[in-house]
Structure formats: C-alpha cells, structure tokens
Amino acid sequence: MPKSDYFEDVYEVVRLIPTGRVTSYGAIAAYLGSKRGARMVGWAMNNCHSRPDVPAHRVVNRQGLLTGKHCFGSPTAMQELLEAEGVPVKNDQVQEWNRHFWDPLVELQ
DNA sequence: GCTGTGACTTTTT
DNA sequence: TAAAAAGCCACAG
C-alpha cells in the first residue's frame, strides 16, 4: 500500500489512457470523486518524475490546452508526443478535442 | 502545526 | 460574451 493513494490512483488512470486519446484533469479528478481535485491531479503530474510510466502528455486541461508542456523539458515535447500518437496539436491546443477526449467515467465506468 | 503554492474547474461580476 | 475571483485538496517548507 503506497502512502499517497491519491497520486497512485491518478497515475493508474493516466496509464489507462489509450494511445491516441487525451483526457482532462477534471475528468480524472471526477473519477476519483472530487472534480475540485483537478489541481491535485496536476500536482501528481508534477511528481510524474517518480513515475516514468505515466504518459502525462495525454493529460491536458479542460480546454485541451497543453498546460504542463514545460514539464517535459521542451515546450514542444508534449505536442510532438501527442502528434506521434495520432493526436493533432496546434498552438499547444488539441485539435478535435471533443473527439479525442477520453473520459474515465465513461470508458472505465 | 501553520502557510504557501499548484500542469484546474466552476461561478459570478 | 469576456474577464476576474473564489473554491478545492494535497504536498512541501
């Protein structure tokens, strides 16, 4: 049993994101039970350095904007990763966000 | 033990 | 319609 279940849960949901799909912090937070916990999800991602298996580039904000791109070392690394997986990104913004949006509450039910 | 901060979201002005 | 403020929970100092 890990000490921070909240973080572990966030990482687990992020790992379940299929390739070519993206989700929002609020969706993960809502899946955990608190939509207001979106900031905690971002905090967990900030500690993503402790979890190399967490595709944080698949997690963006509600607007589909690549907010945490700066955490990848390069401001374009996140965009390149998403485009490499089949998710078109323009101006740090996911194209067809509504189509690529992956909701754990719906997919994982 | 208390304060500050944070890759957000929602509501109100 | 756009912009600004508040709310929220958890970790770090």
The 3-state DSSP class for residue A105 equals: helix
Q: Which residues touch strand B (CB under 7 A)?
A: A 24-26, 29, 35-36, 38-43, 45-46, 48, 56-57, 59-63, 67-69, 71, 78
Is residue A104 assigned to a domain?
Answer: no
Tell me the whole-structure pTM to 2 decimals: 0.91
Is residue A22 assigned to a domain?
Answer: yes
Condensed to tens digits (0 to 9), the pLDDT of residues A25-68 reads 999 999 987 777 899 999 999 888 888 899 999 999 999 999 98
Tell me A50's DSSP state. G
Separation of A38 CA and C1 C1' (Å):
26
Which domain range does residue A16 map to? 5-98
Structurally, how many domains does chain A consist of?
Answer: 1
Q: Does the pLDDT of residue A72 top 80, yes or no?
A: yes
Written as six digits, the tokens of A54 are: 């967490």
Helices (H), chain A: 5-15, 25-32, 38-46, 77-84, 97-100, 104-107
Judged by C1' against the alpha carbon of A67, the nearest nucleotide is B7
Q: Which residues touch strand C (CB under 7 A)?
A: A 3-4, 6-7, 34, 36-40, 43, 47
Is residue A106 assigned to a domain?
Answer: no
Is residue A103 assigned to a domain?
Answer: no
Q: Does the pLDDT of residue A3 top 70, yes or no?
A: no
CATH number of the CATH domain containing A66: 1.10.10.10
